[in-house]
Structure formats: structure tokens, C-alpha cells
Structure 1
Amino acid sequence: MSAAEATTTVPRSSAARLPLTIAAFLAATLFVLGLDQFINALTLGAIYALIALGYTMVYGIIELINFAHGDVYMASTFVAMFTIQTLLGRSGAIESIPELVIALVIVFAVTASLMGLAGVVIERFAYRPLRRAPRLAPLITAIGVSFIIQNIIQFAFGPTIVSVPQIIPISWSFMVGESRVPILNLFVVAAALILMAVLQLFIARTRTGRAMRTTAMDRDASALMGVDINRTIMLTFLIGSALAGAAGVVHVLYYGNTQFGLGFQSGLKAFTAAVLGGIGNTAGAALGGFLIAFVEVGASSFGYGRWGGGIVFTLLVIFLVFRPTGLLGSSTGDRA
């Protein structure tokens, strides 16, 4: 199995005990953090997981670390903000459920479509000409694309934090014991889980998904079998960027603001999530996103919020030393 083949598979030994391990982890964190912080961690993890999927899909297909992906996510928050402002103006949340559903569908569709198109443009003009170049060339290009996106957004919207109208009423919630559970948080987590499930089914069951898997295993052999390599790679960027767009919508719904510097730190944490989970493995990327979120929220709960980022990257270093393939990655021998 190649490194990229892990995009759709989980080693059998890990798959057998994975559900029990996750259930035990969730139960332990719920007990330690309490319901309020547990839900906050799930919500943050949903955002990280969606961004991490874009990193891991691109790496799984062409073994490129797309450092511009974090800024694609950042740009998507501004697209979502503009779409919400166009729909709502400054009128605030939508109380009617049918109108809210229609508005959410429009915001997700517009943002994901535009960011998917942006991903296709970036792949076609920034990365495709360098596909046969030394590995350092596309890496430097990715950093350059990242700065271009940042400067465009900064020029268009300014360097300050921009507020976004709240589309889902904050007052919508219900009580569980003594804890208040916001509907917004549950929507964010549910939307992310649905998108992840659809992605897994797409990769596993569709002809395009099979083309992605074969391209990941052996690009040249796939071309000989009739797979359109350029189209497959283009679709990978489209899907990964569209997921970043969905993450951007989730961000503005949850936080109610955005800024041009958002992409660097969030993108770096999402990349860390992809590495922790096993770069090239979609399930691992999602798992890594939730793990990082629980670490950050846990640190904040115990009064070490400002150390959250440092703890996350310390965890990354430990994993790289003792398990460089990540939680669900293939062994080194399998990757050869």
C-alpha cells in the first residue's frame, strides 16, 4: 500500500478497535470537561476536521502539502460573510425555520462552489505546471499563493476583524441537566459529520472515487488504464477546496466574525490534524481535527488557554518521533 492509498482505507487492526477507543475517549473527556466544554470541543473539532480533509486529500493524490489551503478556508469565510449580508442585510437572525433552511442551503452552496472553483484555478495555474518539478518548487509556490490570497482579502476587506450577521438565533437552545446546549453547536457538528460521511461514500462507491484511489496508488499505471489524471487531480482540489468553503461557513455561523489572518493559524492546526491522523487518510484527518480541538479546549478549561497552541504542536512533535505515520496511517514498510 502506498502512502496515498491510505486516503480511503484504515488498517484492519486499527479499524477493529477504533470505535471502542473513540467511545472511551469521548466518555472520558465528557466526564472531565463537562457537557458545555465537551460540546465546544466537538464544534471546534468539526471545523478543524473539514479543513484537514482538504490537506489530506491533496497529499493522498499528488503528495503535495498545499499550504495555501488554510487561506482558501480564510477566503471562504469572507465569501460566506458577503453571502449572508446579501441575504440578510443587517436584519439579524432568521426565526422562520423554512426560510432559515433555504438561507443555509444558499450560503453553503455559493461558498462551497466558489471555493471549489478557486481550488481548480489554483491547481491549474499554480501546481499543474510544476508537477514534474523538484518537490521544493510546488511547496514554495503554495506559500506564494497563500500570501497572494491574504493580500487580496486584506486589500478588499481591511486588516481588522469583520463581524458577520448571526443567521441562526443564539437563543435557540435546550437544557440538559444544568447545561444549556445551543442548537447552533449541534448544527455545526451535524453538518460536518454529514459532509465527512458523504465524502467517504463518494470516495468508496463512485467511479470518480475509484479513480482517485487508483491515481493515489500509481499515477502512471492509472493513466495506462484510461484514468484521466489531470481531471482526477482537478476534482481532488475542487472537493478539498469546497470542504474548506463549508468549514468557512461553519466558522462564520459559529464565531460571527472573521479576519484576513485567520487562515495561517487555523490552517496550520488543520495540517497538524492531518499529520496526527495519518496524512493521506481521510478518516485519520477527521479524527486528528477532533483530537486537537479536545486538547485545546481541555487546556483552556484548566486555565492554560494561552498554552493551547503550544500543547498541540508539542503533541505533533511527540507523534512524529514515536509514530510518524499518525494514528491511522500505514506503516513505513507498507508505504514503500
Structure 2
Amino acid sequence: MDIFVQQIINGLVLGSMYALVALGYTMVYGIIGLINFAHGEILMVGAMVAWSLATALQDHGLPPWLLLLLCMVVASAACATLNFVIEKVAYRPLRNSPRLSPLITAMGMSLLLQTLAMIIWRPNPKPFPSILPLDVISLWTDGPVITNTQIMILALTAFVLGGLQWLVNSTKLGRAMRATAENPRVAGLMGVKPDTVISATFIIGAVLAALAGIMWASNYGTVQHTMGFLPGLKAFTAAVVGGIGNLSGAMVGGLLLGLVEALGAGYLGQLTNGVFGSQYVDVLSFLMLILVLTLRPSGLMGERVADRA
């Protein structure tokens, strides 16, 4: 029982990070139909910027909460600016091109960002400073444990996801985003500026990815220029499993994927007598993707994006 609860905690933490990145994928796809494969590299840039700032300020005696807040603000601003430039320079000129063109551009942008990060921050892995106290909290005597970092990840994710739902469903920007997703030409006739809405969507997605990057680096304690590839791919899987274009689906898909991976890592070796271990857990994620696409191609929570004329 204790092992099961521990794996549930680990799965929720991992799934929370996947959900934040998956929201960036699903928002962009819902509005312009683009799979932004460079989104994982935005996570990496956020983590690298936070590492640079935390390394520079960790010996200045700042309270942990202030240092963490500074890292989040600076990394979010850097990633938002980067994603804004990428959308304007790389994706906007191809908006009316065949879908294959922006997809190839997104893959090229991913490789470009990885290479630039390798040049700027060097290719070797770097330890991420422990910003929050390393105390371990036991839920009950000799039972499962949770760290301060994991509590921060769960609380921040819940706050961000709630704020995003409010933004999309209850604000003027959210209404403009939903209108642009339905039909950008008609939305333009109604006074909405599609280019502004699309840029805002990329900025919001970048902020979510930056926060996820800081969470990932804090939880696993290391950063490097290739760290965004696999989380980005897993988050895309989560978005597809939940129903790409659907915010709730991205959240559910991310949490479900995290739970599957955590439980698989905890029990796969036991069930196979050590033949398969946690290093094979990635197989479970993509098997789940294949299963969902086979049984329900639109994802678990369907597809809300209407066909455009």
C-alpha cells in the first residue's frame, strides 16, 4: 500500500509537469492547427535561464521563495520573448502554406534551439541548485514521503491550471482565443485581431513551458541542452491522448501519462522478475498513445476544434 501511494504521488508530480507543457501544444494547435515541436526546447531554455540566475544568486542570502520567484519571472519573460519572436519570424510567414511546411520548420527550430543552447551553456549536464529546503515529509510513520519541491510543483500546477481555465473561459482574451479557434476570418470581421491572439497564445504557452522547465530541473536536479526533447515528446503524447485542442483533455492526458509511467516504473520490474525495469517505462507511454489512437482517434476527451471552411 505504501509503495502504491508513493508511486501515485510521483505520478501526479510527473503528470503535472507534462500537463503544463501539453497545454502549450494544445492551445497552439487549437488556434492555428500547428504542432509546435520546438515547444520542448522552450522548456529547456526556461530551465537553463533559471539555472543561470539561481547559480548567480544562490550565495547572496536571498530567501528561497524570493529566489524561486525571481527564477520563474525571469525565465518566463525570456521564454515568452523567445516564443513571440519564433512565431513572428518562423511560423507567421508560413501560416497559409501547406501544413507540412510549418511542421518541418518547427522541427528545424527545435534543432536550432538545442544547438544554440549547447553553444551558450555548453553540452555538459549541470547540477541545478536546491532552491527549496531538502526536507522530506512523511505522510505517516514509515509511509510514503513527499518533498518540498514536489509540494511546490503540485500547488503551482493546480494554481496555474485554474488560472488558465479562468483566462480562457471568463476573459476578453479567452473569448477572442475561442473565436479565433473557431474561424479566424469571421473573428477578424467581429473586431478580433487574429495575429495578436495567436501571439498571445504562444506567449502563454511559453510561460507554462518555462514553469514546467523550472519544476523539472528542481525535481530532477540537473539541466542540459537536450533535456527538453523527451518531456516535449511525452507532453505531445499527453495532448493527443487527452484530445489535442482541448484544454481539459491536455490536463487529463498529462496526469494520466504521469501515473502510467510512475506505476509502470514501480511495478514493471516486479511483475517481470527483473527482466524489464524503469528504463523501459517510456515504452508504456507510447503504447498508451497507440492504444488510444486505435480505439479513440480523437482522444479521450474528444476534439473541440471545429472544421474551418
Distance apart, 1:240 and its partner CA = 0.3
CA contact (8 A) 1:174 1:183 kept: no
CA–CA distance in 2 between the matches of 1:32 and 1:250?
A: 25
Given the alignment, which residue of 57, 63, 80 partners 1:116? 80
CA shift in 2, pair 1:156/1:331, >3 Å: closer
Is 1:165 the counterpart of 2:135 in the alignment? no
Distance apart, 1:158 and its partner CA = 2.0
Given the alignment, which residue of 37, 53, 58 partners 1:88? 58
CA–CA distance in 1 between the matches of 2:289 and 2:182?
A: 26
CA contact (8 A) 2:14 2:255 kept: yes
CA contact (8 A) 2:176 2:192 kept: yes
CA contact (8 A) 1:46 1:188 kept: yes
Aligned residue in 1 for 2:115 = 151
Q: Identity over the aligned pairs, expressed in percent? A: 39
Distance apart, 1:335 and its partner CA = 5.3
Aligned residue in 1 for 2:35 = 65
Q: Deviations over 1:125-178 (max 9, x none)?
A: 000000011111100100111011000111122222111110011125244232
CA contact (8 A) 1:172 1:184 kept: no
Structure-1-length-normalised TM-score: 0.85
**Aligned-partner SS, 1:176:** coil
Structure-2-length-normalised TM-score: 0.92
| Letter paired with 1:190 | A
Residues matched between the structures, number: 299
**Over aligned residue pairs, what C-alpha RMSD do you find?**
1.8
CA contact (8 A) 1:33 1:298 kept: no
CA shift in 2, pair 1:262/1:46, >3 Å: same
| Letter paired with 1:80 | A
Is 1:242 the counterpart of 2:215 in the alignment? no
CA–CA distance in 1 between the matches of 2:265 and 2:257?
A: 12
Which structure 2 residue ranges, 5 or more long, are not aligned? Answer: 270-276
CA–CA distance in 1 between the matches of 2:111 and 2:149?
A: 32
Aligned residue in 2 for 1:270 = 235
CA–CA distance in 2 between the matches of 1:125 and 1:254?
A: 33
Aligned residue in 2 for 1:35 = 5
| Higher alpha-carbon deviation: 62-71 or 77-86 | 77-86
CA–CA distance in 2 between the matches of 1:197 and 1:61?
A: 20
Aligned residue in 2 for 1:198 = 163
Aligned residue in 2 for 1:253 = 218
**Aligned-partner SS, 2:146:** strand
CA contact (8 A) 2:245 2:304 kept: no
CA–CA distance in 2 between the matches of 1:101 and 1:168?
A: 8
Aligned residue in 2 for 1:19 = none
CA shift in 2, pair 1:207/1:147, >3 Å: same
Q: Which runs of 4+ in 1 moved over 3 A?
A: none
